[in-house]
Amino acid sequence: MRFTQHIVKRAVAIFATVFGGGLIASGAASAAPACVSTQHADAPFTICTFAPGKADIRMFWRDANGDAYGGFDRLAEDVAARGGRLVFAMNAGMYQPDLSPVGLYVENGEEGHPVNRRAGAGNFGMLPNGVFWVKGQTAGVTETRKFLAQNLKSDYATQSGPMLVIGGKIHPKIKPDGVSEKTRNGVGMCEDGLARFVIADAPVTFFAFASLFVELKCPDALFLDGSISALYAPDLKRNDGWKSIGPIVGVVEGMKKER
């Protein structure tokens, strides 16, 4: 289950161009897209890579009226109305029927929903689960108990589960012989300091999905959701168009910081 040689070379070239200092002059577009398509374990994936501190990564849930965005179209319109541009978005964690988060949610330093410590049925309760967080110029994926122990006051955070990769090893309950296949999405923080958001473009097993983050050298990776996984990547002319999703992670350009 390894990338073919030409895919590896292409991915390395793209990441080096975009994030290794090979940017076009200030104010110009980057030389390569943040999102690229690839193959792993005989399945198609899209990988979107961003450098915390360079990319403006934020969490979104509700608008100024307190209504859940529910999908990418309304979010993109709201970002544009505030003078910015939504350049990437993905559903970012499990949610209730009213679109409220199941676990921790932090936006602009304000806790919108408390942490969920419970074990239980379903993917979220398959402990350990974890938190994707952004604080200042840094970001991380941290197992929930460690996140709480660190008392990290993040600017943005979303809790989901299970962890896919913990300290470079696949979650012990994710087995190679698993047969359940679904479209899945998740996020990993990788050895090169980059955040990689990944979506399966066809149904895959949990193990195949988790093993991709190992191949990408992401020592910690978090499952965001399955079946309803969706991507907004205008540079790819892609908008999966879901209208009833809860928390959303996005990257924006041209928006002022709110705090």
Over residues 90-119, the pLDDT tens digits come to 999 999 999 999 999 999 999 999 999 988
- Res. 6: pLDDT tops 70: no
What contacts 182, CB < 8 A, 6 or more positions away?
200, 203, 204, 226, 227
Burial class (CB in 10 A: 0-12, 13-18, 19+), 179: exposed
d(CA 194, CA 2) in angstroms, rounded, equals 20
CB 227 within 8 A of CB 180: no
Residue 32 is predicted with a pLDDT of: 53
* Domain boundaries of the chain, sorted by first residue: 5-19+33-253
Residue 109 is predicted with a pLDDT of: 96
Residue 122 is predicted with a pLDDT of: 83
Residue 33 is predicted with a pLDDT of: 66
| pLDDT 10s digits, 118-174 | 887 789 998 999 999 999 999 999 999 999 999 989 999 999 999 999 999 999 999
Full DSSP string of 17-45: HHHSS-PPSTTSPPSS-SEEEEEETTEEE
Task: Place 24 in a pLDDT band, splitting at 50, 70 and 90.
Answer: very low
| pLDDT 10s digits, 28-81 | 334 456 999 999 989 999 999 999 999 999 999 999 999 999 999 999 999 999
Task: Give the mean model confidence (pLDDT) for residues 236-255.
Answer: 93
Pull the structure tokens for residue 56: 């403006």
Task: Place 228 in a pLDDT band, splitting at 50, 70 and 90.
Answer: confident
Higher per-residue pLDDT: 258 or 191: 191
Residue 212 is predicted with a pLDDT of: 98
> Number of helices and strands (H, E) in the chain?
4, 17
Per-state percent for the chain, helix, strand, coil, to nearest 5: 15, 35, 45
Other CB atoms within 10 Å distance of the CB of residue 3 = 16
Token pair 């910690």: residue: 220
